A and B are shown apart, each in its own frame.
Chain A
C-alpha cells in the first residue's frame, strides 16, 4: 500500500492511491496552482515573438521525423565525429549496461566522487544507486535535484524537479545537512546550496551530464540550463561523461537553432535559457580549463522498441514539460502519482511503453483527452491519440474489462449495427431509466458498472426518444 512518504520516493503502480494522497497534500496543491498561471502564461507570451510559431513547431517536428527514419546512420555519423575530436563513444542496450559502462570508466581512473547535472535519462537508468554500490559518491548539483537527492525522493516535474516542495519543507530537508537550522527562505536556502556544492565541483573527479541534443555532423552535445551547475560540471572535473538517449540526435548544426528557439520558450517562457552549452570533445591541449576526457554513452533502453512501432512519435519529445503544465490532471495530482520517471501526459505514454502496459494500466486513462497537452507541445506530439491507442491495446489484453462492462459494450455495438434493435433499445431505455431518473443524472450505476459512478455521475437517458420528440415537433412522418 502506498503511503504518504513513499509515493514520492519509489516508482510504483499505485496511481489511484497516490493521486488521492496528492490531492490531500496542501503544499503540493499550492505549488501546482502556480503552474498554469505562471509557466503556462510565460510560455504563450514567449512564442508571440514569432510571426508564425506554428511553423517553427512544424519544422522541429519534420526534423525529428526525418532523423528517426534514418537514426542508425545519424548515430554512426555522430560516433565518427566524436571520435574525430578525441572523444570516446559507448553503446548501452539498457540501463544496467549504461551503469556498468559509466562505473567502469570511473573505476579505471580511480574516481571517488562525481558531480551530476540534472538528467532524466540518468534517473531512468538508476545511475545514482549504481554509483553508490560501486563506492562512488554522486552529488546532484541542480538545486532542485540536490534537495530531492537529500530527501531521497524522485523528481516530480521534468523541468522543476522539486516543485512539489515549499521553502519550509526544503529547510527541514537541508537543515540536518547544514548542522544548523536553515531559514525558510528560498534565497538563503539557495545560498547554502551554493556553498555546499562549490566544494563538490572543486573536488569531484568527474562530471556526469545528460544532453538535450547531440549534433551528428559535428559530434557536439548541447546542454540547456539556468543555474550554471552544468557548465561547472563540464568545466572543472578532469572527466566528462554524457549519457544520451539515442532519440536526442539531430543531423545538422543548422537544425539546432530551431530547437533552441522553441525549447526554452516552451519550458519556462525564456527566449534562451541562461546557459546554453555546445560541447565538442574534451578541452584542446592549450586550454586551461575543461575536462581532459570526454565520453558519450548512447542509450537504447527500450527506445528501439518504440521506434519500430506505432507510438514512435513519442520519441519526438524534447522534455520541455509544457504538456505537464497544461494538463488538468497533472495540475491536480503532480508528478509523483504517475509512478514512473516521466510524469504528466507524456509520462502517461512513456511509462507504459518503457515499463509495461499491464502494470501501468491506469496511466492511459489518466487523461480527459482534452487536447491541452498537444496544443502546448512545441513538437505537436499527438499525445491524446497515443493514449487512445494504448487504451485500445489494453482492451485487447484479457482481463482488463470486467465481464459486465464487456457485455455492455458488446450489446451496445450490436444495437448500433441494427436499426430495429437500436429503436427497441432506446424505447426501452427512455421508458425505464429515463422516467425513473428525471434529474437526468444517475449517481450510482448498478453492480460491476459502479466504478464509473464512483467519482462522477452517469448521464441518464432522456424521458423521450429524440425521434419521438422530432415527430411530435414536425408532425411529419417517421425519419
Chain B
C-alpha cells in the first residue's frame, strides 16, 4: 500500500477513535517512579549486579582493579581477548597486562585492518570480552554500552565471558538519569546502538529453569572502582 493511503487510513481512524479516549490520571508528579540508588552508589550497583546473577567486585583504586582483572585472567586463562579502546582501560594499562600473559588482543585498531570475513572470524574466536561502559545504573545494576568506533557492540556479547571495569564517576542513580544524560548530549547525537546490559545472558524457556549463556556471555563480571 502506498504511504499516502496508509497515513490517511491512520488519520481517519485516529480521529474516529478520539470519541473513545479513556479517562486518564492527568496529574502525575514529575519524578514518579524515580527509585535511585541510595547510599553508596558503587555498593548499590554491586549489590544489584549480584542480584541479577553477575559478579561484582568493588575496589578502591586502579591498582586494585588491575589486580582483580589479573585474577580473572588467571581464572579463565583466555587465549584471545576482544577489547574496547577506552581511556579507563588505558589507565589500567590493559595492553601490558594482556601482553605479560601472552593473551592475543583484538580491538578496533587490529580489526579495522581485516577484511569483513576475517574480522568476523576474529571476533567470534575471542575467549573473553573486556570493556568499560558509558554509564552504569545503580537502581537496576545495568551497564550502558554506547556503540562507537573503539567500543564495538560485539565485545560485550560474543565471548563467553564479559568483564567490564567502571568507575564511580560513570554511575548514575536511576534509569531516569540516563535519559537526562541523553537529553543533555542532544538527540541528534544518539548512537546507532545503545545497549543496557543487566546480567549474564539468560533463558528460562524450559520449565522456567534459569540457564545462563544461551547466546551471550554466561559469565558476567563487573569491577567497580570507587
Binding site for B on A (CB under 8 A): 31, 34, 38-39, 49-52, 55-56, 58-59, 61-62, 65-66, 68-72, 75-76, 79, 85, 91-93, 97, 141-144, 147, 160-163, 165-167, 170, 186-187, 189-191, 193-194, 197-198, 202, 217-218, 220, 226-229, 231-232, 234-236, 246, 253-254, 256-258, 260-261, 268, 270-284, 286-290, 298, 300, 304-305, 307-310, 312-313, 382
Q: Is the CB of A72 within 8 A of B176?
A: no
Given A93-B6, A144-B203, do A275 and B196 touch, yes or no (CB 8 Å)?
A: yes
CB within 8 Å: A-B pair count: 277
Binding site for A on B (CB under 8 A): 1-3, 5-7, 9-18, 20-22, 24-26, 28-29, 32-33, 35, 48, 52, 108, 111-112, 119-120, 123-124, 137, 139-142, 147-149, 152-154, 157-158, 175-176, 178-179, 182-183, 187, 190-209, 211, 213-217
Residue of B nearest to A310 (CB): B20
Residue of B nearest to A52 (CB): B32
Q: Is the CB of B24 within 8 A of A202?
A: no
CA distance A309 to B13 in the complex (A): 8
Which residue of the partner chain, among A160, A228, A268, contacts B201 with CB atoms under 8 Å? A228
Q: Is the CB of A231 within 8 A of B157?
A: yes
CA distance A34 to B209 in the complex (A): 11
16 contacts between A and B (CB under 8 A): A49-B35, A69-B21, A79-B3, A91-B3, A186-B211, A189-B206, A227-B216, A228-B214, A246-B10, A271-B140, A275-B216, A276-B196, A286-B149, A287-B147, A304-B12, A312-B17
Q: Is the CB of A261 within 8 A of B175?
A: yes
Q: Is the CB of A186 within 8 A of B209?
A: yes
CB neighbours of B178 from chain A (8 A): 257
CB neighbours of B149 from chain A (8 A): 284, 286-288
Q: Is the CB of A72 within 8 A of B22?
A: no
Q: Is the CB of B192 within 8 A of A290?
A: yes
Kindly list 20 other residue pairs between chains A and B, CB separation below 8 angstroms, not including A283-B193, A298-B6: A55-B29, A55-B32, A79-B3, A91-B2, A144-B205, A170-B206, A198-B124, A218-B190, A227-B216, A257-B179, A261-B33, A275-B201, A275-B216, A280-B192, A284-B148, A288-B119, A289-B123, A290-B192, A307-B10, A312-B20
CB neighbours of A235 from chain B (8 A): 153-154, 157, 193
Given A165-B206, A186-B207, A300-B6, do A274 and B28 touch, yes or no (CB 8 Å)?
A: no
CA distance A162 to B209 in the complex (A): 12
Given A92-B1, A289-B153, do A271 and B214 touch, yes or no (CB 8 Å)?
A: no
CB neighbours of A282 from chain B (8 A): 192
Given A163-B205, A274-B52, A288-B108, do A232 and B157 touch, yes or no (CB 8 Å)?
A: yes
CA distance A307 to B201 in the complex (A): 37
Q: Is the CB of B214 within 8 A of A97?
A: no
CB neighbours of A198 from chain B (8 A): 124
CB neighbours of A234 from chain B (8 A): 193
CA distance A290 to B147 in the complex (A): 9
A-B CB proximity, top 7 nearest = A228-B216, A308-B16, A93-B1, A144-B205, A308-B13, A58-B25, A304-B13
Q: Is the CB of B216 within 8 A of A217?
A: no
Residue of B nearest to A84 (CB): B188
Q: Is the CB of B179 within 8 A of A271?
A: no
Q: Indicate the member of B7, B20, B209, B214 with the most A CB atoms within 10 Å.
A: B214
**Shortest CB distance A116–B (Å):** 13
CA distance A147 to B208 in the complex (A): 15
Q: Is the CB of A194 within 8 A of B198?
A: no
Which residue of the partner chain, among A189, A274, A278, A287, contacts B202 with CB atoms under 8 Å? A274
Given A141-B215, A231-B195, do A61 and B6 touch, yes or no (CB 8 Å)?
A: no
Residue of A nearest to B200 (CB): A274
Given A75-B7, A274-B198, A300-B10, do A193 and B192 touch, yes or no (CB 8 Å)?
A: no
CA distance A166 to B13 in the complex (A): 44
Q: Is the CB of A277 within 8 A of B20?
A: no
Residue of A nearest to B177 (CB): A257
Residue of B nearest to A233 (CB): B215
CB neighbours of B52 from chain A (8 A): 270-271, 274
Which residue of the partner chain, among A75, A160, A217, A257, contacts B208 with CB atoms under 8 Å? A160
Q: Is the CB of B9 within 8 A of A304?
A: yes
Which residue of the partner chain, among A141, A163, A190, contacts B211 with CB atoms under 8 Å? A190
Q: Is the CB of A194 within 8 A of B13?
A: no
Q: Is the CB of A271 within 8 A of B48?
A: yes
Q: Is the CB of A271 within 8 A of B208?
A: no
CA distance A166 to B16 in the complex (A): 47
CB neighbours of A49 from chain B (8 A): 35
Q: Is the CB of B28 within 8 A of A58?
A: yes
Which residue of the partner chain, among B6, B24, B195, contacts A58 with CB atoms under 8 Å? B24
Q: Indicate the member of A34, A161, A194 with the most B CB atoms within 10 Å.
A: A194
